[in-house]
Amino acid sequence: MALATRSRVLSAFKELHRTCQKVFQGDQQALQASRHKINHEFKRFKDEKDPKKIEDHIQWAADSACLLRLTVVQAKLKDDGSTYEVRITKDTHLEDNTLFDPNADIPVKPRRKKKERPEISASNVDIDQMTGKKR
């Protein structure tokens, strides 16, 4: 592995660990699980020689760190036992909360009609065929 690639792999490894420490701050179980998973994944591919695959793994690490920073929030049950305190970081992506307009004109798709099935009556059914009896 080239020195520049090795440096980028180490940088991605460290960035992923730093992100987990920030995102899972105070949650020892999540920190331990994320540390184990990161180490396991990097050890699993430590002997990789294909530059394309190595780049893919570096990109996976960068994408994972970004996803963790943007989407993970921590919630902790307060002492009153009925509400949660949510820790949102400056990196957390918050969606716009659009209020529902009860006067909105929502188009309704017409329903499909059921297929017509032939009507079954005693006159067009042979009872012996239905029961499997041979004549």
Summarised one tens digit per residue, pLDDT across range 108-130 is: 888 888 777 766 665 555 655 55
d(CA 12, CA 41): 12
Q: For the full predicted model, state whether its pTM sits above 0.85.
A: no
Q: Are the C-beta atoms of residues 69 and 23 closer than 8 Å to each other?
A: yes
Residue with tokens 């993970």: 72
d(CA 33, CA 14): 16
Residue 101 has what DSSP assignment?
Answer: -
Summarised one tens digit per residue, pLDDT across range 28-50 is: 999 999 999 999 999 999 898 99
Q: Are the C-beta atoms of residues 71 and 77 closer than 8 Å to each other?
A: no
